[in-house]
Amino acid sequence: MSAVREDRAGNPDPLLVACALRIEQTALRSAGRGDYALLRTGMGPRAAERSVARALERPGMERAAVLATGFCAGLVPGMHPGDLVVADQTRDPHGAVTCTGTALLAEALARAIPGRTVHTGALTGSDHVVRGQERAQLRATGAIAVDMESAATLWAATRGDRCPSEGGRPVAAVRVIVDAPEHELVRIGTVRGGISAFRVLRAVLPAFYDWHRSLLLPRR
């Protein structure tokens, strides 16, 4: 039989939602309060890795589920600002991290934001903003989108023995496309694509809650 993971006192494991930028934090906060912890890591993989590692060292966070979110650049022609990317794995120089409950999360997003396209695939990490030909080079590796923090966030969440429970720590990454092959942006929030992505990010939290509640892991 499966059940939502709980600690010994019967309390459900917490949810840590990590984003990098103040505008991403603003979008998520404007969605209203909920039963989750919101962490702004700062921009770049090193900042994300440090911030997430520190957050998970706090009391009560040993078994927390971790979800990386924010904006990203799409790599596949035909993507549009405001489309959603649900990672089935994240990749960076540390290696690949397999995400938890990808199909459940994609379905929850489709319900929460009807009419928005949800892409599922590999999300690759970068230490800089990707432009031009580099976008095609990353797509050739099999990735469908790129951002600077998701891979580092999930690597920090899963490295070592931070989650002693069976099955390991649940991790996921959901990104909103703000920049795509036919829709390159110069600055987030100054053009229509940025505004569209902001509105979508503001609407994702109900899907995150559904994913968190649906983490049915075998209890031994």
Stretch 67-73: mean pLDDT, rounded?
A: 96
Tell me whether residue 26 is exposed, middle or buried, using C-beta atoms within 10 angstroms of its C-beta: 0 to 12, 13 to 18, 19 or more: middle
The H or E element that residue 85 is part of is strand 84-92
Stretch 18-41: mean pLDDT, rounded?
A: 87
Say what the pLDDT of residue 5 is. Answer: 43
The mean pLDDT of the chain is: 85
* Pairing verdict, β 2-4 and 216-218: antiparallel
Q: Which of 119, 108, 131, 65 is nearest to 205 (CA)?
A: 108
* Pairing verdict, β 37-40 and 15-19: parallel
Q: Which of 65, 34, 11 is nearest to 215 (CA)?
A: 65
The model's pLDDT over 140-172, given as tens digits with 9 standing for 90+, comes to 999 999 999 999 999 999 986 454 445 689 999
Residue with tokens 């036919």: 182
* Pairing verdict, β 84-92 and 95-98: antiparallel
Integer CA distances (angstroms), 35 to 128, 157, 200, 213, in order? 32, 19, 20, 11
Residue with tokens 């039963």: 35
Domains and CATH numbers, the chain: 12-214 (3.40.50.1580)
Q: DSSP state, 202?
A: T
Q: DSSP state, 11?
A: P
**Residues 56, 191 contacting (CB under 8 angstroms):** no
The model's pLDDT over 91-133, given as tens digits with 9 standing for 90+, comes to 999 999 999 999 999 999 999 999 999 999 999 999 988 877 8
- Per DSSP, the chain holds a count of helices (H) and strands (E) of 7, 10
What six digits make up the tokens of 16? Answer: 């840590």
What six digits make up the tokens of 82? Answer: 């405001």
What is the C-alpha to C-alpha distance for residues 218 and 175, in angstroms, rounded to an integer? Answer: 28
